[in-house]
Amino acid sequence: MLREANEKDLKFLCQIEILATDIYYSAGFSKEEALPRTKENLLELLGEATVIVYEENNIILGYAAWKKHEEHCHLEEISVDPRYQKRGIGSSLIKNNPFRNECKKTTLICYKNAPWAYGLYLKLGFMPLQQIPQELIRIWQEEADRGLDMSKRICMAMYY
């Protein structure tokens, strides 16, 4: 079942973040490149974004966070508990973008050397962009300021 998240879900969201980030470390990413979102950060996300959880038997197995902007919406985050990955949960969260009827375009930024995410986005119809679109320049700069290696990051967009 998909539903909107609330503060009571924070504990599960924190756990998923820690577990799901391990996929990056196993693939050789450094702590600087991939840090799990903290409780404070997740709380902020709940306030600023629309967070959708995938729940089975009252247990949250994954979540996605979306922000709606004027002309487009942006996938801020998606994470699935590794014990339940590759079962279609990530796809279901993306296909059920809460803004799909309001926005003609969905954007995201990801690591192109993270095939579990990049592959999922390509499969679902996101296109890699050769240039940073105007609407993502601010987020791109914030990531660069945080010290991420932007040569490995890529902007993607899907048009409905």
- Please, are residues 107 and 66 in contact by the beta-carbon 8 Å criterion? no
CB of 79 to ligand COA, least distance (A): 4
The helix (H) or strand (E) run that includes residue 55 is strand 50-56
Q: Site for ligand COA (CB under 6 A): which residue of 48, 56, 71, 88?
A: 88
Is 23 near ligand COA (CB under 6 A)?
Answer: yes
The single-letter DSSP state of residue 113 is: T
Is 116 near ligand COA (CB under 6 A)?
Answer: yes
Nearest to 53 by CA among 22, 24, 15, 100: 15
Is 133 near ligand COA (CB under 6 A)?
Answer: no
Which residue number, 46 or 107, has a Cβ lying nearer to ligand COA? Answer: 107
Q: Site for ligand COA (CB under 6 A): which residue of 31, 104, 123, 152?
A: 123
The interface region with ligand COA, picked from 3-11, 88-96, 132-140, 151-159 by CB under 6 A, is: 88-96
- Rounded Cα distance between 154 and 8, Å, is 33
- The two tokens of residue 8 are 């009571």
Question: Which residues, 6+ apart, have CB-to-CB distance to 146 below 8 Å?
Answer: none
Footprint on this chain of ligand COA (rule: CB under 6 A)? 20, 23, 78-80, 85-91, 110, 114-117, 119-120, 123
